Structure 1
């Protein structure tokens, strides 16, 4: 695993929040209008080839590989005070998303190999503790990841909590495919929280400094500010933190004018070069 982990101080949002606090106060008519607008737009990052590319770029920063499908069984404590980090998107025992994943998976597949750890997962949620998880939880996770049902569950939860809300909001903000990816990566890294270092808090801060394209602003200028705020959030607690996932990847795409995130694509993370033809 890379040195990166979720940086938001608050746990991931509960399932009832639908990971979309930005529209919680909207009326049904407003949400319907948003749905209609999104349906009229190009698929952008949601197009299958672009979604695959998005997973590869995230995996380069999260796991130093383009093989994101090789990470279903990944699990370790990377020392970021979030407990165990696991799976294709870095679900964490300390940030609620791993607990939610196992709860939803167990509802559909009772008696799975992780179900017996649910009481412990609820106890350690919000902390870096392994109490009740050691020594068997990591092996149970790896064993369960060999099952297609659990791999599918990881992808479903990734989309529900991170990918779909990020792409939806980016489209409503008038952002193209690159901007949609930048929102998605921010949602993964910072967590879908509303605090100053969570995704929604960072977006709110960016909007105070620049208009989004849907508000008539410059897409490049807005994204540049959003990346600045992300970088500051990453450095806030750990000034020596590596920020190349922004500096020599996403910002490079932006400065190259690649707002459609077209391939071939070359970028660097942690000094390693990655290429997608």
Structure 2
């Protein structure tokens, strides 16, 4: 537009001008000679001659167009490009442990189904009877026994929480019954006193704490060391509740001779099968008619289903009764 105005002004005024940018355009194009300058007529000429300026070259037009077109490009370059929205990264939920509150509840229900034929394990605080297994009285939520020392441990803890209780007087007799099936020093009042004291939240607390100290915590810690998940942690826990620490250690040693733990590079399912095989053999040793349904139709069922996380729904049988945990 400025080029056209300049040409029009030159014609109107009679002033000879050179086409703007002609030399600069030629200089940017090798081999093109700049047009000669326009000369005015001699002063003594009778008539003044006006020479029309040379039209703009194609190069000049392209340069002007390029300058006009460069402005949007500069504006575009000055405008920041928005960063793309990052794609959310999928997170994997942590695998459950038997120490998780819900899974610990599952464990107590599973043990109670085999020990007391109910999922309501809290209703078993007052339970007590002699089941004829050679361990004297069996009592409470995981079957503490007068003949194995753990029942005495519960009453000792209870006495620490509540010194003046009706069970403390049995502690001297219980100290003499470790390893015995005898009721000496307990009958005829111990059963009734236990059932009465079991209504006390402090005796319930003592049972919970001894269960965890002697059985639950050691079993889960060993299972984690061996690289086992929730099902394997429960398998260890149930074994130590029934067979005790010494029996559990014997079973584990037998299993290790057959398969490696996951912590040692072994397959978890293969190792747990070896452990259950060893435990069943241990239970049947000397007692060929002993019921092993807590292994055969409970723990083995979960393992065969690949449920290493012990996730509900859980359906199993013990002693012919069917139980279900839905959530």
TM range, smaller chain: 0.7 to 0.9
For 2:211 and 2:133, the matched residues in 1 are separated by 20
Deviation at 1:206, TM superposition (A): 1.1
Deviation at 1:220, TM superposition (A): 0.3
- Aligned to 1:117, which of 145, 170, 175? 170
Query: Is the aligned partner of 1:243 residue 2:292?
Result: yes
Q: CA RMSD in A?
A: 1.0
Question: Structure 1: any 5+ residue segments left out of the alignment?
Answer: 1-40
TM-score (ref. length: structure 1): 0.83
Query: Is the aligned partner of 1:218 residue 2:299?
Result: no
Aligned pair count reads: 233
Structure 1 outlier segments of 4+, above 3 Å: none
Deviation at 1:241, TM superposition (A): 0.8
- Aligned to 1:231, which of 259, 264, 280? 280
For 1:151 and 1:43, the matched residues in 2 are separated by 27
For 1:254 and 1:239, the matched residues in 2 are separated by 24
Residue number in structure 2 paired with 1:191: 244
For 2:96 and 2:214, the matched residues in 1 are separated by 19
Question: Structure 2: any 5+ residue segments left out of the alignment?
Answer: 1-93
Deviation at 1:108, TM superposition (A): 2.5
Kept in 1: contact 2:136–2:182 (CA 8 A): yes
Query: Is the aligned partner of 1:201 residue 2:257?
Result: no
Query: Is the aligned partner of 1:176 residue 2:229?
Result: yes
Deviation at 1:43, TM superposition (A): 5.3
Deviation at 1:165, TM superposition (A): 0.6
| Higher-RCO chain (CA-CA 8 Å, sequence separation at least 6) | 1
For 2:132 and 2:189, the matched residues in 1 are separated by 19
Query: Is the aligned partner of 1:262 residue 2:315?
Result: no
Question: What do residues 62-93 of structure 1 show as CA deviations (whole Å, max 9, x unaligned)?
Answer: 01111100100000000000000000000000
Kept in 1: contact 2:316–2:323 (CA 8 A): yes
For 2:124 and 2:263, the matched residues in 1 are separated by 36
Larger Rg: 2
